C-alpha cells in the first residue's frame, strides 16, 4: 500500500477526505494527518510518505512553504494541493515547486479518486522502473549462510523483515522463461537455469503468486511456497520447503502451485520397506505392486520429490550393492533427477524396465511352445498383473479380441482356460510367500488377488492337495 498524509487546518475537511475517499481501491492508506504546515513537515521528514495532500493557507507554515521544504526533505514524495477557487493563483504557483496537481474546493469525491488513480499509475511505473527486483548475489549469500549480507540487501531494497512485515519465500521451476507483467515489490534470484526464487512481503504474496501463474501458463511449471517468516534464521528452512514444493509438477505430472510436503510421510516408509523386501527375495510381483502403488501416490500428491529420490536411490543402490546386471546410474540431487525424467511416472517406468530382468523367475517364464504372438503378450501381461482383478472382458478390450475368440484361442494355445491359468499363477505365488515370509495366511491371500479367505484356501487345496497352513509347516521341516 502507498502511504498518504492529509494536511488541512480545518479538521472536518481532513476527516471527510479520510473517510469519504476510496483510498484502498487505488492502493493507498492514510498513515497520518496534520493541521498546519510545520506539523506536516515533521511528518514528511519522519515518515517519507508517497503522497501528501495539503491545503494552501494554514497557520505556522503555509502550504507552498511546506511543499518547497518537503521536497527538499523527501524528494520522492508527491504533493497535491487542496485549493479553494479564490486561491487558484496560489495553486498555479505551487506547480512551479514540483507539485503533482491540485483539487479545487469544494471537493467532489470523484475528483480526488481520479487524482489517486493518476498518482497510483505514476507510483507503479516508478516502482517498476526503479525497484531492483533481481539480486544476483542474494542466493549466494543465502547458501553461504551470510545472513548479514542478506539483511543488508533486504534493508537496501525496502524488504526488511520483522513481526509486522513477514516474508514468504517462493520458488518457481519452469522450462519457460517468463517475465512478470504487473508491478510487484519482491526480490528475485536465480537458483539454477530453470529455477528462480522470490522473497515477498505477506501483503503482496497473493498478487505475486497470481502473476507468476499467469506468466507461466502454457508450460509445465511448478510454484512452491514456503512458510511465512519474521526471523532471518528461518530463511533457509522456509526456502528449502518452497524448493521441495516446487517439484510438484514432477511428482504429480500436472502444473500449478504446491504447498510444502509434511515433515514425515508414513506412506514412503512402508513403500521403501516393501521394495527392499521384494528386491531381497527377487519377488517380481511384489515389486510391480510397489511400483504401481508408488505411481498412484505420486499422482495423488502423497509423495514428494524427496520421496522420489529415496525410491530411485534405494533401488539403484541395491543393484550396486549386489552387483546385479540391472544396475544403472545415480543422479546428483533432485534437479538432475527431475531434468532427466521430467515426471515421476517416467521414473517409475524406468525403474520397472530396469529391474524386472533381475527379478525374472523361471517358474513364471512363458512356455517356449506357445508361438501365437498375441497370446504370448497376454501371458506376459497376466504374469505382471495376476494379483489384480483380471477378466476375459478386460483382456479382450485391451488386446482387441472378442471375448469368445479369446477364450477359444487361450485354451487352444495354453492348454487350460483363463481362470485355471490365473488361479495357478496366484497359488504358485502364494507358495512362494508361504515359504519365504511370515505373513499371515489371510494377508497372503489378499496379496495374491484372493479377496475371500475361504475361497483362497479352497483353491489352494484343490491345486496343491494341502491347505496353506499344511504347506507352510512342510516348508519349515
- Whether 130 shows a pLDDT value over 50: the answer reads no
- For the chain, give the mean pLDDT: 85
The pTM score is 0.62
* Helix, strand, or coil (residue 224): strand
88: left (phi over 0), alpha (psi -120 to 50) or beta: alpha
What are the pLDDT digits (tens) for 291-321?
A: 999 999 999 999 999 999 999 998 888 877 7
On whether the CB atoms of residues 350 and 326 are closer than 8 A, the answer is no
Handedness of CA 369, 371, 375, 377 (dihedral sign): positive
- Whether 363 shows a pLDDT value over 70: the answer reads no
What are the pLDDT digits (tens) for 387-429?
A: 888 999 999 999 999 999 999 999 999 999 999 999 999 999 9
Q: 120 falls in which pLDDT band (50, 70, 90)?
A: confident
For position 108, what pLDDT does the model report? 79
Separation of CA 177 from chain center? 18
On whether the CB atoms of residues 407 and 392 are closer than 8 A, the answer is yes
For 173, half-sphere exposure in the C-beta direction (CA atoms, 13 angstrom radius) is 24
For position 131, what pLDDT does the model report? 44
Place of cell 511416472: 345
Q: 290 falls in which pLDDT band (50, 70, 90)?
A: very high
- Whether 129 shows a pLDDT value over 60: the answer reads no
What are the pLDDT digits (tens) for 345-361?
A: 999 998 988 887 777 65
Q: 82 falls in which pLDDT band (50, 70, 90)?
A: confident
Residue 125 has a CB neighbour count (10 Å cut-off) of: 11
For position 182, what pLDDT does the model report? 47
Instruction: Round to whole Å and give the CA distance between 393 and 375.
Output: 15
* Domains observed in the chain: 2-130 (3.40.50.2300), 138-247 (no CATH), 266-360 (no CATH), 363-475 (1.10.10.60)
Q: What is the mean pLDDT of residues 440-461?
A: 92
Amino acid at each position: 500500500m502507498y502511504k498518504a498524509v492529509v494536511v488541512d487546518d480545518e479538521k472536518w475537511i481532513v476527516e471527510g477526505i479520510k473517510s469519504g475517499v476510496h483510498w484502498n481501491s487505488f492502493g493507498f492508506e492514510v498513515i497520518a494527518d496534520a493541521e498546519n504546515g510545520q506539523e506536516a513537515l515533521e511528518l514528511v521528514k519522519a515518515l517519507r510518505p508517497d503522497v501528501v495532500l495539503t491545503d494552501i493557507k494554514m497557520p505556522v507554515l503555509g502550504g507552498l512553504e511546506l511543499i518547497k521544504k518537503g521536497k527538499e526533505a523527501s524528494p520522492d514524495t508527491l504533493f497535491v494541493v487542496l485549493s479553494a477557487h479564490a486561491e487558484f493563483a496560489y495553486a498555479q504557483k505551487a506547480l512551479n515547486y514540483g507539485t503533482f496537481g491540485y483539487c479545487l474546493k469544494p471537493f467532489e469525491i470523484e475528483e480526488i479518486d481520479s487524482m489517486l488513480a493518476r498518482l497510483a499509475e505514476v507510483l507503479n511505473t516508478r516502482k517498476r522502473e526503479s525497484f531492483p527486483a533481481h539480486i544476483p548475489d542474494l542466493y549466494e549469500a543465502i547458501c553461504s549462510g551470510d545472513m548479514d549480507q542478506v539483511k543488508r540487501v533486504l534493508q537496501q531494497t525496502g524488504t526488511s523483515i520483522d513481526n509486522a512485515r513477514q516474508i514468504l519465500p517462493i520458488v518457481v521451476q519452469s522450462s519457460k522463461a517468463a517475465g512478470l507483467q504487473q508491478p510487484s515489490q519482491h526480490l528475485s534470484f536465480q537458483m539454477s537455469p530453470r529455477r528462480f526464487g522470490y522473497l515477498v512481503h505477506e501483503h503482496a504474496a497473493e498478487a505475486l503468486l497470481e502473476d507468476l501463474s499467469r506468466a507461466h501458463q502454457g508450460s509445465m511449471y511448478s510454484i512452491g511456497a514456503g512458510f511465512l517468516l519474521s526471523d532471518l534464521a528461518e530463511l533457509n528452512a522456509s526456502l528449502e520447503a518452497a524448493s521441495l514444493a516446487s517439484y510438484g509438477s514432477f511428482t504429480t505430472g500436472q502444473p500449478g502451485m504446491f504447498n510444502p510436503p509434511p515433515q514425515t510421510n508414513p506412506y514412503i516408509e512402508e513403500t521403501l520397506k516393501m521394495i527392499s523386501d521384494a528386491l531381497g527375495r527377487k519377488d517380481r510381483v511384489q515389486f510391480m505392486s510397489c511400483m504401481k502403488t508408488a505411481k498412484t501416490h505420486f499422482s495423488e500428491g502423497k509423495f514428494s520429490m524427496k520421496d522420489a529420490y529415496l525410491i530411485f536411490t534405494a533401488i539403484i543402490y541395491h543393484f550396486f550393492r549386489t552387483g546385479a546386471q540391472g544396475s544403472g546410474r545415480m543422479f546428483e540431487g533432485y534437479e538432475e533427477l527431475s531434468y532427466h525424467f521430467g515426471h515421476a511416472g517416467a521414473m517409475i517406468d524406468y525403474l520397472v524396465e530396469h529391474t524386472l530382468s533381475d527379478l525374472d523367475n523361471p517358474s513364471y517364464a512363458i512356455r517356449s511352445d506357445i508361438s501365437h504372438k498375441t497370446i504370448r503378450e497376454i501371458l506376459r501381461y497376466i504374469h505382471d498383473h495376476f494379483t489384480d482383478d483380471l477378466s476375459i472382458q478386460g483382456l479382450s478390450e485391451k488386446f482387441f479380441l472378442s471375448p469368445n475368440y479369446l477364450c477359444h484361442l487361450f485354451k487352444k494355445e495354453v492348454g487350460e482356460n483363463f481362470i485355471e491359468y490365473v488361479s495357478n499363477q496366484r497359488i504358485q505365488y502364494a507358495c512362494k510367500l508361504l515359504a519365504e515370509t511370515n505373513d499371515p495366511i489371510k494377508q497372503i491371500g489378499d496379496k495374491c488377488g484372493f479377496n475371500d479367505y475361504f475361497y483362497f484356501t479352497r483353491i489352494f487345496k484343490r491345486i496343491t492337495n494341502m491347505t496353506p497352513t499344511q504347506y507352510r509347516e512342510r516348508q519349515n521341516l
